Amino acid sequence: MNKRLLSYVRVLVPLMLHVLFFQYATFASGWWFFGLHLLGLLLMPLQSPPIMLLLIAAAFGSVVDAANYEGGLFMSSCVFMALLMPAINRLLAPREGYEVTDQPTVSSMGAQWFTIRCLLLLSIHHLWMFGLEAGRYDLIPQAIGKALASSLLSTGAFLVILLLTRRNPNTR
């Protein structure tokens, strides 16, 4: 199996873990939603075409929706995040641009780059998701609070997961 294919397979593992074990992973009375499937989307190769990102995000979201009976909530949020992913990648690109071997991981791009990208993309996803889920204007402030709290805590958790599972910390 070549490296490119492997990187796409790696994307599927967090989704499977989320659906099988972590679908109820909501802590602190709903203030921390831990969407492990989002780590899979965040690990999509940096050179992925935007269309592929959208389609894979839609597929991820719909799988989680089907497992959680949330009917389109996760699909909508994942697609929205995937739309802005290329823009965020461009925003955070090094001066000389990304290299072909660069991967959106801590070991490849560094903890600071990963943390900022993760925080931005998770905030986009969570603001959309909690906003939709709130369904009423008076619940929007609480939804924003939940989105920001979840983004911060999930970024920390993803960082720890990647640090614990990295194979070669001296790649870059």
- Tell me which residues touch another protein (CB under 8 A): 20-21, 24, 26, 29-30, 50-51, 54-55, 58, 61-62, 65-67, 69-73, 75-76, 79-80, 83, 132-136, 139
* Cβ closest to another protein, residue 72 vs residue 110: 72
Q: Cβ of residue 30: shortest distance to another protein, in angstroms?
A: 3
Q: Cβ of residue 8: shortest distance to another protein, in angstroms?
A: 19
Q: Cβ of residue 54: shortest distance to another protein, in angstroms?
A: 5
Q: Is 130 exposed, middle or buried (0-12, 13-18, 19+ CB in 10 A)?
A: buried
State the amino acid at position 40 in one-letter form.
G
Q: Cβ of residue 38: shortest distance to another protein, in angstroms?
A: 16
Contacts of 160 by beta carbon, 8 Å cutoff, 6+ apart: none
* Cβ closest to another protein, residue 76 vs residue 89: 76
Long-range contact set of residues 68-71: C-beta below 8 Å, sequence gap at least 24: 68/23
* Cβ closest to another protein, residue 69 vs residue 164: 69
Contacts of 109 by beta carbon, 8 Å cutoff, 6+ apart: 102, 103, 172
Q: Cβ of residue 26: shortest distance to another protein, in angstroms?
A: 5
* Cβ closest to another protein, residue 47 vs residue 112: 47
b (16+ CB within 10 A) / e for 4-37: eeebbebbeebbebbbeeebeeeeeeeebbbbbb
* Cβ closest to another protein, residue 96 vs residue 138: 138
